[in-house]
Amino acid sequence: MGIGRGEQIGTAVAPGRVHQTMDPIVDQIARQRSRKQVRFRLTVFGTWIVLIGVLIGGLWLGGKINLDFLRQWQAYILGGVPLTLVISASSIFFACILAIFGALGRLSSNAVVYGVASFYVSLVRGTPLIVQILFIYLALPQIWQGFAGIPAITLGIFALSFNYGAYMTEIFRAGIQAIPRGQIDAAHAIGMTDRLTMRRVVLPQAIRIVTPAIGNEFIAMVKDSALVSIISVQELLWRAQTVGASKFRTLETLLLAALVYWVLTIAFSLLQDRLEKRMAESDRRI
């Protein structure tokens, strides 16, 4: 390769030959450098493979993992993945809506509205997510019986949305505050009310700004959705744990669950990278 070098030094070279310079030593250095980079990446990849192999292969060779058992139950356990994804996706959706209102509240000049929003953020951020989930599932029916009739999955999504909404409130607030003053002036100048300015000018731009951060939150949400297994929502972790516990084979089932979460987060990270690159391109639009 050595494209960078070739272009820098070989400007006098005829078109089509820019990849190479007249100077063989420069070419050789460039080639060596790129080979070094490739070697580094390959070694990192190899190290990962070895580590995974040692971990799983070691356990298997040592007779600690029963693959037949896994094969028998994998379909059931993996059957929890769609539910995990549904919970994560719907929770992040509702969390975004809560976060928009939370952010507007945190930016409000009305003391009561600001008070409500800051109370919400403080309450949620100051208590563990697991406590919130248990509270909504177990404690609320004590206040009103009707809560007992609501399916656990609904309550789980509610708890996750409520929690993430508070954290994402700060993300949306930062996104809204990142919009330049001139945009608001321009909206006011064409006669827009504050509300219309927010809806037509500020929020559409703020949402673009916070999209990468929402991606991060979604990846975190995929992992945190495992917590609703504690209220018997039959998602990935619940299935792994239930099967493992009843057959005394939690090593296999939890290992499988962990691997699935890991693969999911890697997959979504890659997806997010591509999405961000696409957005950056459409921003340039040149």
Q: What residue ranges bind another protein (CB under 8 A)?
A: 180, 182-183, 185-193, 196, 200-201, 204-205, 208, 283-286
Q: Do residues 18 and 7 touch, judged by C-beta distance below 8 A?
A: yes
Cα separation of 151 and 136, whole Å?
Answer: 12
Q: Rounded distance, CA 199 to CA 197, Å? A: 6
Q: Which is nearer to another protein, 19 or 188 (CB)?
A: 188
Shortest distance in whole angstroms from residue 197 CB to another protein = 10
Instruction: Return d(Cα 98, Cα 172) in angstroms, integer.
Output: 10
CB of 193 to another protein, least distance (A): 7
Sign of CA dihedral 114, 156, 83, 77: positive
Burial zone of 88 (CB within 10 Å; 0-12 exposed, 13-18 middle, 19+ buried): buried
**Whole-number minimum distance, CB 114 to another protein, in Å?**
16
The contacts of residue 265 (CB under 8 Å, 6+ apart) are 219, 222, 223
Q: Are 13 and 22 in contact (CB under 8 A)?
A: yes
Nearer to another protein, 103 or 203 (CB): 203
Q: Which is nearer to another protein, 96 or 187 (CB)?
A: 187
Residue with tokens 């209102």: 101
Query: Shortest approach of another protein to residue 275 CB, angstroms?
Result: 17
Q: Determine the Cα angle at 99 with ends 97 and 100, to 5°.
A: 70
Contact yes or no for 107/173 (Cβ under 8 A): yes
SS3 of 212, please?
helix
User: Nearest approach, Cβ of 280 to another protein (angstroms)?
Assistant: 12
Q: Residue 136, SS3? A: helix
Minimum Å distance from CB 106 to another protein? 21
Using CA atoms, how far apart are residues 16 and 59, in angstroms rounded to an integer? 55
Whose Cβ is closer to another protein: residue 114's or residue 167's? 114
Give the nearer residue to another protein in terms of CB position, either 133 or 203: 203
Nearer to another protein by Cβ, of 36 and 277: the residue is 277
Q: Which is nearer to another protein, 66 or 205 (CB)?
A: 205
Residue 277 tokens, joined? 């690159």
Q: Smallest distance from the beta carbon of 185 to another protein, in angstroms?
A: 5
In the complex, the smallest distance separating the C-beta of residue 286 from another protein, rounded to whole angstroms, is 6
Nearer to another protein, 55 or 178 (CB): 178
Both tokens of 26, joined, read 């420069």
For residues 90 and 159, is the Cβ–Cβ distance under 8 A? no
